[in-house]
Amino acid sequence: MKQHMNAYTAQDQLVWKTLFERQFANLQGKVSGAYLDALHEMSSVMNAQKIPDFAEIDEWFSSRTGWKMEVVPGLIPVDEFFRLLAEKRFCSSTWLRSMDQLDYLEEPDMFHDTFGHVPLLANPVFSDFMQTFGELGCQVLDEPEKLAALQRLYWFTIEFGMIAGKQPLIYGAGIISSFGETNRAVSNDVEHKPFVMEEVLEMPFRTDVVQEHYVCIAHLEQLFESIQQLTEQWTTVLGN
């Protein structure tokens, strides 16, 4: 599949501009500095002025962390998802929500996929974490319990993760791309739990309700260190 830039209408461009400008302003003081630094660094290919061109994003990443965009129609099989991450290919839809859907969608659109997920792929530590996550997933495809554990890890880090501090800061794409979720995540209405890998791997979640708690890492390096340790733990041959 390909992205067809000439298929986007003036209304699509207005939706993108509205979403970008509103959420960029809303994130100030609430989102990780690593995300803001990456978004600023990507400003030539990720900005409010036009819907991002995946070919331009690919070219931008080619001299940095090497990620490429992979156009998908929606949800894809889990084995393909992990394989693409392991190959540094990030999945994204190309459709954009309508103006009357600014605050709620049942499934992720390209604003979530690109504005929410892509900038942190320029961060070397987060990039390594994502690729290693994909590699580990490829190794346990025949083990449903481990795949379920990785799904929980993905939910509480890549989608809804936060970084601990005097005020917890956001780095998860599901929060970054949502105006309402951003404000809820930094409020006193929710619980912020410290990241403990063993607990997160067993932590239940629901996709049909707003989050009641968020898991906070100490820093991005903790993600990479933890996925390395989990890889060693799961792939160690018994008896060695």
- Unique residue bearing structure tokens 């390594």: 128
CA angle 130, 133, 135 (to 5 degrees): 110
User: Is residue 144 domain-resident?
Assistant: yes
The whole-number average pLDDT for the span 86-115 is 92
- Within 13 A of 106's CA, how many CA atoms are on the CB side? 0
User: Is residue 126 domain-resident?
Assistant: yes
- Write out the residue range of the structural domain in which residue 43 sits: 5-232
Nearest Cα to Cα of residue 136 among 223, 10, 239, 7: 223
Q: Give the domain CATH number at 37.
A: 1.10.800.10
Nearest Cα to Cα of residue 88 among 121, 43, 136: 121
CB 181 within 8 A of CB 211: yes
**Whole-angstrom distance, CA of residue 153 vs CA of residue 161:** 9
User: Is residue 240 domain-resident?
Assistant: no
User: Is residue 11 domain-resident?
Assistant: yes
**What tokens appear for 112 in the block?**
């979530």
User: Is residue 237 domain-resident?
Assistant: no
Query: In the chain, how many domains are there?
Result: 1
pLDDT digits (tens, 9 = 90+) for 147-196: 999 999 999 999 999 999 999 999 999 999 999 999 999 999 999 999 99
User: Is residue 238 domain-resident?
Assistant: no
**Whole-angstrom distance, CA of residue 90 vs CA of residue 84:** 7
**What tokens appear for 195 in the block?**
């990241």
User: Is residue 239 domain-resident?
Assistant: no
**What is the model's pTM?**
0.94
Does 238 have pLDDT greater than 50?
no
Query: Residues, the chain, total?
Result: 240
The whole-number average pLDDT for the span 121-135 is 98
User: Is residue 119 domain-resident?
Assistant: yes
C-alpha to C-alpha distances, 76 to 33, 70, 167, 177, nearest whole angstrom? 31, 11, 36, 21
